[in-house]
Structure 1
């Protein structure tokens, strides 16, 4: 006899509920095209044993449920399983004794060595339990202090059976590592137990509904040619971000990495914040201060792969190549030259999920941007694989089901433990249900990065003249996203600015940025075009491209040139590994106009909430006129990309009748426009079908200009309400 599948009610949009089955196939209700793949999503009605089930290719929700059951049984539930950092590594007890544990199943013996015992291998031997965990308890000293002094160096020394050799490693769960380049390029593990621990003063802000992300890297945030610090970021950069109106910061390269030029994507110590920027307490102060501004902070977390370093990384930790990673070829990413985690093994899973909780609890991060999700989702890592959008690409033997399960577990835990958490996936493949809740059969992320958008803008600027730009293609790229799965759109991130490429501003204005960016010099046609298109590209991406927006630091004011870290190929130069805040702070330079336009976009969104509104209705995309018009959140957005043609009494369709006023105008002189729009003008609608709408209005829309209109009786803010810009800077 067939059984009725239990169901639940899910609110998919405000006020709109759907009934979904509790078998992991709820996403099929949202997307009927997934119906043929329903068996790959749902739980089976007949229970199989865990081992039987894990040889299956599909049934992702059942696999997720099986792992939850295993965590509940063997790991004592999420609450215990995700607190591995309170069990492993160094933990100081209330009486100042120290307990140290390390998982190293291949090692036959182990001892703790360090400055505290003069690196003697036989001074503090460790005991091994039946699960491959070595442990040691150090009583306090005679005067009641911890046996290991704060900030002193330590290592674990192990013997391996293959050769009976001794290997020394940095503890896998170490929370502080430092580097003295005058002595060695290898990192040292440090016992971190400061007498004065940082005390958080501010509570976490609420989860933003219209997320506006400021992507930042502490090290490059100084305008001086050196590595910036956490304290400098707190003092100098946080006020800038708050002034601009961003509600979220995404911090890159925080997890310790040996090679600075890797941009933080070759992690060596997963529980240690990078010491090159300062102390752990400095990072806590940064996050706490951001919370005081009402800004949430996300960690750019790298669980997609690990640095292959042995002496200061996880690779070959216990003498084997498969302690935390898959062994053999499956455990290596050939293009990235790095190691790949074994997501299907108990201890690596505990390590990674505890790592997420550690950053949330100890440092008070508000969520994560998961790096390299496409690489995780597929055994081929997306390399040389052109995703066409066919659903068969997402449900076949090329999918790494163990990694999919890990991401489901991570998101399930995070959302249950932290209701206001935000998770973002860096995925280019378009995996269905990536950004739907786990209980529906989704993978559980809040947002996917719209990675095709910046690539399209760069390609257009590289390969086409303005008159070759296709309005239909721009709209297609900006709106081509899965229904009810949120995207974060961006015109450029750090990827587009890396050496070998250039920032959008530099693509637009190139060498003239060195000579014609002063208000004292004539406004050349190249600078005029570049400034105009920079504002338009960023705004149409912001308003049309997704349910969130992202900017990489410095690009808000048109940062010139490119980004390049010190390395052998550039004689270890820091010239391009910094942000040139001096150009935006100099009131004689034109960068300030782009900075204030960016601020106007963020402030306007905070009043009108288009990012958290349903996707826009595009009423016009006219190739000849180079014009795009759409409505979202009760705002009419009109973009005229034409290089020379301005239009008078241009007819624009709208669903909402009324009297409209300008709220944003890129042609305003405060943004280095030409001042061709009168802001006190009213635009009245008339009945009559036009462009799929029941009403229309007529506007004057100058060339290379965007205007945004809002009904007069619903005005909350206009750009004329902005206070005098620039509370900082030089003359």
Structure 2
């Protein structure tokens, strides 16, 4: 008799769907057994494609390998061949659609550029290798090429055996390129020198770095990835990224990567879209190939070679760069054939109605299994808006193995409240329910806003609260009612969100001090300006302005929450709410939090029990 999985024991409403839950669990176990040769090797042993494919230095010179089953011939081209096909650099076809070429040591040198010319029946084209670990763009032509990266003195990590602090996990979501004050694209080195000290001083113990994987269009925020194994060269070199991560570890700050395995850019030369004349080598066939909302392509998670590629990608970033884990982007899009578009997700049947991609669910389960094999203390976070049960439950309990899920209902709630409700309609009972509404036994990352709310077309919380008055009344002594109200609510929203967390808390870079305006990356429509793709640190540094008041509060808030051992795992006990007075009180351990959301009344000697 099949045992009842803990995910069902913990939530009896799942009992009607036990067969589907068990089926997904068995499917993941079966696929793992298949990939590991019946358990004769580990999943970590399987996920080593980056050590075989791509360009590697050997004792005799160089070896390069690529998977391209539909190719009829492949040539390595580059500076060494004057960018022309040469029979001396023709690759040899091996088994299973793999190709290989061995080269003498003096053919390639550190910094050389290269790519492939791939032939197939009916055509050919230039391609950047799928497993390239360094890709650069020519400043004049805009053309991307792979680059040999073989420095004489490779970077060696100084901080050994780093263990992330997760009591609680306090995440500073950041983007390397837009982290600087100057109107330009920032670098790994500048982030390490100028921004890491700010993160440490503010009290965050983890940075979540966006846009690491190489992407052709800067304005995609890094979500249209072309080269999955290449750290974006627009911010600097691989060694400079490693030094940044090492420096963060020395400060006690974990570094997790915003990894994109939910889709891929459509570019053919730079990306995987039509790698060897086969549009489905990496991607689903038919109507499922293209994402209808993102103008991108969807991986075929049912192909073992694709699973190998993506699992190897996870291991590569952990091993090569010493990342501490990942925030998986677009998980909802992966889980459902509809990508979650137009779905209401109003009851449990919506998660088990046969409209889910069991291949993707299996891949995510295996990815979490692998990541925690490679690094036992790794952090994995799922960005899922649907509320799929078990996302952040243990695999052996019938879950998908993520450590945390994003509490995506909370920022949506705050936006709706600020936009649609007058102050008198902010009801504490509704607020408390929203910030504590989560699945039992699944940890979440609570947040009031992330980068999503800071983009053009949306507004940050502070901008919604204060709007144009931010331009005229943020000087000390010149604040008006709108500014004072906005700053007070900015603090309260953050405190009630963070103090009710059951795992971790996240903030986007600069929002802790109420960074004004929006994020707008360089594009044709703004004259390719970086004016809005940066952070104005001078505002918070200027003590004559009120931005530092919000930053000071944020730092004190984090210090308070970190000062209580296991704060995030202790029960949140409501003491009192009165929707008419708009007063809320709750307790965690020895801390009592009292909020007055009433816009007109202060209360003296207010009693609650």
Q: TM-score, normalised by structure 1?
A: 0.81
Report the CA distance between 1:207 and its aligned residue: 4.4
Partner residue, 1:247: 205
Partner residue, 2:96: 131
For residues 400-419 of structure 1, the aligned pairs below 5 Å read: 400-419=357-376
Partner residue, 1:36: 16
Task: Indicate yes or no: 2:584 matched with 1:624.
Answer: no
Q: 2:46 aligns with which of 81, 103, 107?
A: 81
Q: How many residues align?
A: 606
* SS of equivalent to 2:606: strand
**Is the 8 Å Cα contact of residues 478 and 546 (structure 1) preserved in structure 2?**
no
Q: 2:498 aligns with which of 533, 542, 545?
A: 542
Q: 1:468 aligns with which of 411, 414, 425?
A: 425
* SS of equivalent to 1:649: coil
* SS of equivalent to 1:242: helix
For residues 692-711 of structure 1, the aligned pairs below 5 Å read: none
Partner residue, 1:345: 303
Partner residue, 1:175: 133
Query: What CA distance in whole angstroms lies between the structure 2 residues aligned with 1:76 and 1:98?
Result: 28
Report the CA distance between 1:633 and its aligned residue: 2.7
* SS of equivalent to 1:477: helix
* Residue ranges of structure 2 left out of the alignment (5+ in a row): none
Query: What CA distance in whole angstroms lies between the structure 2 residues aligned with 1:295 and 1:652?
Result: 40
Query: What CA distance in whole angstroms lies between the structure 2 residues aligned with 1:474 and 1:433?
Result: 25
For residues 358-369 of structure 1, the aligned pairs below 5 Å read: 358-369=316-327
For residues 9-20 of structure 1, the aligned pairs below 5 Å read: none
Query: What CA distance in whole angstroms lies between the structure 2 residues aligned with 1:32 and 1:463?
Result: 36
Q: 2:79 aligns with which of 108, 115, 122?
A: 115
**Is the 8 Å Cα contact of residues 136 and 144 (structure 2) preserved in structure 1?**
yes
**Is the 8 Å Cα contact of residues 448 and 487 (structure 1) preserved in structure 2?**
yes
Query: What CA distance in whole angstroms lies between the structure 2 residues aligned with 1:471 and 1:452?
Result: 16
Query: What CA distance in whole angstroms lies between the structure 1 residues aligned with 2:589 and 2:199?
Result: 25
Partner residue, 1:577: 533
Report the CA distance between 1:652 and its aligned residue: 2.9
Task: Indicate yes or no: 2:183 matched with 1:221.
Answer: no
* SS of equivalent to 2:95: coil
* SS of equivalent to 2:605: strand
Partner residue, 1:490: 447
Partner residue, 1:151: 111
1:143-171 Cα deviation digits (max 9, x unpaired):
xxxx311111111222101x1x2222000
Report the CA distance between 1:449 and its aligned residue: 0.6
Report the CA distance between 1:312 and its aligned residue: 0.6
Partner residue, 2:64: 100
1:228-272 Cα deviation digits (max 9, x unpaired):
110000000000000011111000011111111110000010011
**Is the 8 Å Cα contact of residues 164 and 324 (structure 2) preserved in structure 1?**
no
Which has more radius of gyration? 1
For residues 7-406 of structure 1, the aligned pairs below 5 Å read: 21=3, 25-42=5-22, 59-73=23-37, 76-93=41-58, 95=59, 97-121=61-85, 122-141=87-106, 147-161=107-121, 163=122, 165-183=123-141, 185-203=142-160, 204-388=162-346, 390-406=347-363
**Is the 8 Å Cα contact of residues 178 and 190 (structure 1) preserved in structure 2?**
yes
**Is the 8 Å Cα contact of residues 609 and 633 (structure 1) preserved in structure 2?**
no
Question: More displaced, 501-510 or 255-264?
Answer: 501-510
* SS of equivalent to 1:518: coil
Instruction: Give the helix-richer structure, 1 or 2.
Output: 2
Question: More displaced, 358-367 or 453-462?
Answer: 453-462
Query: What CA distance in whole angstroms lies between the structure 1 residues aligned with 2:33 and 2:276?
Result: 29
* SS of equivalent to 1:306: coil
**Is the 8 Å Cα contact of residues 326 and 342 (structure 1) preserved in structure 2?**
yes
Partner residue, 1:10: none
Report the CA distance between 1:28 and its aligned residue: 1.0
Alignment root-mean-square deviation, CA: 1.4
Query: What CA distance in whole angstroms lies between the structure 1 residues aligned with 2:400 and 2:179?
Result: 34
Partner residue, 2:544: 588
Query: What CA distance in whole angstroms lies between the structure 1 residues aligned with 2:42 and 2:444?
Result: 32
Instruction: Give the strand-richer structure, 1 or 2.
Output: 1
**Is the 8 Å Cα contact of residues 134 and 231 (structure 2) preserved in structure 1?**
yes
Residues 538 and 132 (structure 1 numbering): CA distance in 2 closer, same or farther, change over 3 Å? same
1:614-643 Cα deviation digits (max 9, x unpaired):
341112221111111111132111001111
**Is the 8 Å Cα contact of residues 102 and 171 (structure 1) preserved in structure 2?**
yes
Report the CA distance between 1:80 and its aligned residue: 2.5
For residues 673-684 of structure 1, the aligned pairs below 5 Å read: none
Report the CA distance between 1:610 and its aligned residue: 5.9
1:261-292 Cα deviation digits (max 9, x unpaired):
11000001001111111111110011000000
Report the CA distance between 1:466 and its aligned residue: 0.8
**Is the 8 Å Cα contact of residues 98 and 140 (structure 1) preserved in structure 2?**
yes
Report the CA distance between 1:96 and its aligned residue: 5.3
**Is the 8 Å Cα contact of residues 610 and 632 (structure 1) preserved in structure 2?**
no
**Is the 8 Å Cα contact of residues 186 and 311 (structure 1) preserved in structure 2?**
no
* Residue ranges of structure 1 left out of the alignment (5+ in a row): 6-20, 43-58, 142-146, 654-731
Q: Runs of 4 or more off by more than 3 Å in structure 1? A: 74-77
Query: What CA distance in whole angstroms lies between the structure 2 residues aligned with 1:567 and 1:310?
Result: 22
1:185-207 Cα deviation digits (max 9, x unpaired):
33111111111211100122334
Report the CA distance between 1:571 and its aligned residue: 2.2
Q: 2:521 aligns with which of 550, 559, 565?
A: 565
**Is the 8 Å Cα contact of residues 202 and 555 (structure 2) preserved in structure 1?**
yes
Task: Indicate yes or no: 2:582 matched with 1:602.
Answer: no
**Is the 8 Å Cα contact of residues 117 and 123 (structure 1) preserved in structure 2?**
no
**Is the 8 Å Cα contact of residues 318 and 374 (structure 2) preserved in structure 1?**
no
Task: Indicate yes or no: 2:459 matched with 1:499.
Answer: no
* SS of equivalent to 1:510: helix
1:700-725 Cα deviation digits (max 9, x unpaired):
xxxxxxxxxxxxxxxxxxxxxxxxxx
Query: What CA distance in whole angstroms lies between the structure 2 residues aligned with 1:254 and 1:190?
Result: 17
Query: What CA distance in whole angstroms lies between the structure 2 residues aligned with 1:207 and 1:82?
Result: 27
1:27-81 Cα deviation digits (max 9, x unpaired):
1111111111111122xxxxxxxxxxxxxxxx11111111111111189432321
* SS of equivalent to 1:577: coil
Query: What CA distance in whole angstroms lies between the structure 1 residues aligned with 2:105 and 2:524?
Result: 47
* SS of equivalent to 1:405: helix
Report the CA distance between 1:645 and its aligned residue: 1.1
